[in-house]
Amino acid sequence: MPKGNILIVDDNKSILSTLEILLGSEFDKVKGISNPNQIPEELRNGDYSVVILDMNFQAGINTGNEGLYWLGQINKSNPDISVVLITAYSDVELAVKALKQGATDFISKPWDNSKLLATIKSAVQLSFSKKEVGHLRLKEKSLKEELNRDQKYIIGTSPQLIRVMNIVRKVAKTNANILITGENGTGKELIAREIHRLSLRNNEVMVSVDMGAVSETLFESELFGHVKGAFTDARENRAGKFETANKGTLFLDEIGNLSVHLQAKLLTAIQNRKFMRLGSDQSIPVDIRLVCATNKNLQEMVHEGLFREDLLYRINTIQIEVPPLRERGNDIIVLADFFLKKYASKYEKGGMKINQAAQEKLLNYQWPGNIRELQHTMEKAVILADTSILKPDDFFLRPVLSGKFDETELTIEEMEKQMIIKAIEKSSGNMSLAADKLGVTRQTLYNKIKKYGL
């Protein structure tokens, strides 16, 4: 356990030397300064628990106003630090005034060594308690943000989904790092939340971070937190996602969007299981279960120098690939019914159903946007429907391009687009087979589909 760091501020150098010797063996660090103007810089650079502060610094002035001034400055900038005031002039009225303004205690010169040690040790424990309370408040704030998210569910009975859920149940109770892959909109975050729900950490929070939405400038602050004054807008201490997720699960979504520069910083934190808040030099240990997700082929990115191989090994103890919606068969109708009930209730349109022809239309569509696209499609259909029975014309789906074309009149991109369409049609929507026909990886095919809006 740490013993605490002590800063002594007194213009009498013999007092400084005496206190440094007396306290040196009892605490982790003891430093003395004679000029109170150095206090702000010392507090920025050192993790102090207690400041022992003289009341008077100018010769012939014994009002204690200087000590009260610096007491106010310390309390304002570092409220977690305990301040013990010390002076040669025992003045009960001044002592009471100092205590009312936030001093932890008041000691007169000359002092009793055992009493002084007891006072400083109590002040250190008070400082530790203040910091712990502050940490808990920051964590509580972050936890409330996480817990206020909408509850979502994994729905479906297809063999493809059942295989995924079997893997989830096997790995959930371990601490293995998990990488979840799959197209956009397939429900990777839902799989991550199910892993956390079934894990031994389910009494703690799962914290989600969209790595694609975190800018380079805010990366360290977002993940590791910051201390007050670390940058222009840092008006208070803030816990980062790593700190908030302590004892629980940290979910890093879209990790493939992280730049190589930031990948190195993330790798260091994952390897060492500790980090420093931005603007601080104090390491904070952390105990997390790491789950990551991406719609990109990280192995290809490693070959292209876009993703660190050592980071891939760290996050990829177990890989779970979530199947696209078009490969889940009748789950499309099960999910459509779920969203239908949800939005019919939301928009007060009871008793809505999907007729057989409309169901066939939904089953035959390729769903490039997966479950997210189906959800938006169902909401739009409910809002615009004139009757309680949804027909094919009530569903606005992106057209699938096909047909004959004159290759001599097409650009290379247009030819590539038509080749992809033909390959998907000939493979009856089987993306793996279509990718083999085209001589590319499945992930590359998905990227092309996204590029051309197919």
Can you tell me the distance from the alpha carbon of 324 to that of 198, in angstroms, rounded to the nearest whole number? 23
What's the pLDDT score for residue 401? 46
Token representation of residue 450: 């996204």
Cis status of the peptide bond prior to 368, with omega within 30 of 0: no
> What total number of domains does the chain contain?
4
| Segments forming the whole domain that contains residue 427 | 407-452
Last residue of a domain, one of 69, 97, 132: 132
- Here the CATH number for the domain that contains residue 250 is 3.40.50.300
* Judgement on whether residues 167 and 314 belong to the same structural domain of the protein: yes
**428 vs 190, residue with greater confidence:** 190
Query: How much is the average pLDDT of 154-160?
Result: 92
Q: Are the beta carbons of 68 and 95 closer than 8 angstroms?
A: no
Is 143 part of any domain? no
Can you tell me the distance from the alpha carbon of 311 to that of 307, in angstroms, rounded to the nearest whole number? 8
What's the pLDDT score for residue 337? 95
The Cα angle at residue 124 between residues 221 and 69, in degrees rounded to 5: 80
* Judgement on whether residues 71 and 199 belong to the same structural domain of the protein: no
Per-residue pLDDT tens for 206-258?
999 998 888 888 898 889 988 888 787 777 888 889 999 999 999 999 999 99
Q: Of 186, 169, 368, nearest to 178 (Cα)?
A: 169
Q: Are the beta carbons of 247 and 204 closer than 8 angstroms?
A: yes
* Judgement on whether residues 341 and 303 belong to the same structural domain of the protein: no
Q: Are the beta carbons of 352 and 339 closer than 8 angstroms?
A: no
Quick one: what percent of the chain has pLDDT higher than 70?
90
* Judgement on whether residues 237 and 201 belong to the same structural domain of the protein: yes
The pTM (predicted TM-score) of the whole model is 0.60
Count of Cβ atoms closer than 10 Å to residue 235 Cβ:
8
Query: How much is the average pLDDT of 14-34?
Result: 90
* Judgement on whether residues 181 and 55 belong to the same structural domain of the protein: no
Which residue type is seen at 274? K
Query: How much is the average pLDDT of 257-263?
Result: 91
* Judgement on whether residues 170 and 315 belong to the same structural domain of the protein: yes
Confidence of residue 402 (pLDDT cuts 50, 70, 90): very low
Is 350 part of any domain? yes
Per-residue pLDDT tens for 46-73?
889 999 998 877 655 667 788 888 999 9
The Cα angle at residue 179 between residues 173 and 185, in degrees rounded to 5: 110
Is 145 part of any domain? no
Per-residue pLDDT tens for 361-383?
999 999 999 999 999 999 999 99
Can you tell me the distance from the alpha carbon of 179 to that of 195, in angstroms, rounded to the nearest whole number? 11
pLDDT higher than threshold 70 for residue 168: yes
Confidence of residue 422 (pLDDT cuts 50, 70, 90): confident
Per-residue pLDDT tens for 101-120?
888 888 877 888 988 899 99
